[in-house]
Amino acid sequence: MIDLLAMHKHFLGAHMKKGGTAVDFTMGNGHDTLYLCESVGDEGHVYAFDIQEQAIVNTEKLLRDSGCPLNWTLIHDSHANVLNYINQPICAGIFNLGWLPGADRQVTTRRESTAAAVEAALGLLDSDGILLIAVYPGHEEGRLEGEMLEARLSKVSRYDMSVSKLQIINSPLSPYFYAAERK
């Protein structure tokens, strides 16, 4: 059976650069942040965003307990405001849409801010950089975020980026993801 998380790493791993700058646009419990911190190493830097204080607390604990490099900045703000914090090219950006596992499901990512953040992220992406966006179509807002992303990402010039979608087509409510790779 296909393991989507292993596939995330497969796509991301080909683009991670020691010393690079990476962004976790949906910090949550910090697992993707930790992966990015370890991948870019001591000389790199990771910025992670979340609108929930609990995500900052959980992620800071995970990063400190893991002994990963002190190469991170945790930002308590919407990812839609990313350009207020970052203006250098990024080698990788991760969106893991939806809600914080174990927390209030009403606090979920939403089309308007997701669209603004993805637009900004596309602009920040360095040559050979990757944007990975995991979508959860099993709830209504997640389904609509997926539709919005499909419409936007299918319009990206194929001369500039390669945009792939990995979906289990006989399980349409299962999570799927987009990988946008800059040439």
Ligand X SMILES: C[S@@+](CC[C@H](N)C(=O)[O-])C[C@H]1O[C@@H](n2cnc3c(N)ncnc32)[C@H](O)[C@@H]1O
- The residue of the chain with the least Cβ separation from ligand X equals 28
Report whether 109 contacts 145 (CB < 8 A): yes
Three-state secondary-structure class, residue 78: coil
CB closer to ligand X out of 107 and 144: 107
Beta bridge mates, 76:
50
Please report, as ranges, the residues that interact with ligand X according to CB under 6 A: 26, 28-32, 49-52, 55, 78-80, 96, 98-100, 107, 109, 113
Three-state secondary-structure class, residue 91: strand
Beta bridge mates, 97:
none
- Shortest Å, Cβ 57 to ligand X: 11
Record the tokens describing residue 135, joined without a space.
């979508």
- Shortest Å, Cβ 157 to ligand X: 27
Task: Answer left, alpha or beta for residue 3, where phi above 0 means left and psi between -120 and 50 means alpha.
Answer: beta
CB closer to ligand X out of 84 and 154: 84
- Shortest Å, Cβ 29 to ligand X: 4
CB closer to ligand X out of 57 and 183: 57
